[in-house]
Amino acid sequence: MIIGQGAEAVLKHEDGVLVKDRIVKKYRIKEIDDKIRKLRTRSETKLLEKASKVIPIPKVLDSNDKTMQIHMEFIDGKKLSEYLDSINDKERETLLKIIGNQTALLHNENIIHGDLTTSNMILKDEKIYFIDFGLGFFSIKNEDKAVDIHLFKQALESKHYTHFEKSYENFLKGYKEKSTNYNEIIKQLEKVEKRGRYKGKNEI
């Protein structure tokens, strides 16, 4: 059964297995398209495998850079984007702290998720699985970690605005608990956000 079709991939669910199929882009020259899809399939697999050592991640069952498919465990849970606004404050606080913890654990391993939003998180058995490392990469730079945090902040602000302030505060609390470089990354985050504002002004 097809459960999703993004810009890059088609996602199918078959008997507890999620198949992520990187689709052909007709507008790209075939040789280049093949190369890009192959690289992204490999890169996402590597990130999923590394990340699974520190946080809950769907298990990779098979990755094939000839068919450009990744087979992984299907996480039969609740998508956080659809769940977060329907729960009480206490539970939301707990979940945001866990997300903060897990983001820091990824960053400690120099894994940048690249698309941190609540639609890329699934809650199951009180664990939050991070999915979709399609835009992820490895980096030791505080700048890249700060941008990851900033993107999550923006996602909270736009999708979960009712509880935004408290949610972001709890996320940062969780991040601080586990981060090995909190102060430097937050300093960089302030720079990222200032730059964002200047950019906005320049555009007017």
Ligand X SMILES: Nc1ncnc2c1ncn2[C@@H]1O[C@H](COP(=O)(O)OP(=O)(O)O)[C@@H](O)[C@H]1O
Assess whether 115 carries a catalytic annotation: yes
Contact between 58 and ligand X by CB under 6 A: the answer reads: yes
63 binds Mg ion (CB under 5 A): no
Residue nearest Mg ion, Cβ-based:
132
Q: Does 151 bind ligand X (CB under 6 A)?
A: no
Closer by beta carbon to Mg ion, 122 or else 147: 122
Give the whole-angstrom CA distance, residue 70 versus residue 118.
Answer: 22
Q: How far is the CB of 133 from ligand X (least distance, A)?
A: 8
Structure tokens at 176: 């601080």
Query: In the structure encoding, which two tokens stand for residue 49, read together?
Result: 């495998």
Question: What sections of 109-181 are H helices per DSSP?
Answer: 142-159, 164-178
Residue 202 buriedness (CB in 10 A; 0-12 / 13-18 / 19+): exposed
> Taking CB within 5 to 8 Å according to partner kind, which of Mg ion, ligand X, none is near residue 16?
none
> Does 120 help bind Mg ion (rule: CB under 5 A)?
yes
125-144 binders of Mg ion (CB under 5 A): 132
Those residues with Cβ within 8 angstroms of residue 54's Cβ, 6 or more apart along the chain or in another chain: 102, 105, 106, 108, 109
Q: Summarize as ranges the residues that interact with ligand X (CB under 6 A).
A: 3-4, 6, 8-9, 11, 18, 20, 58, 72, 74-75, 79, 119-120, 122, 131-132, 134
Residues involved in catalysis: 115
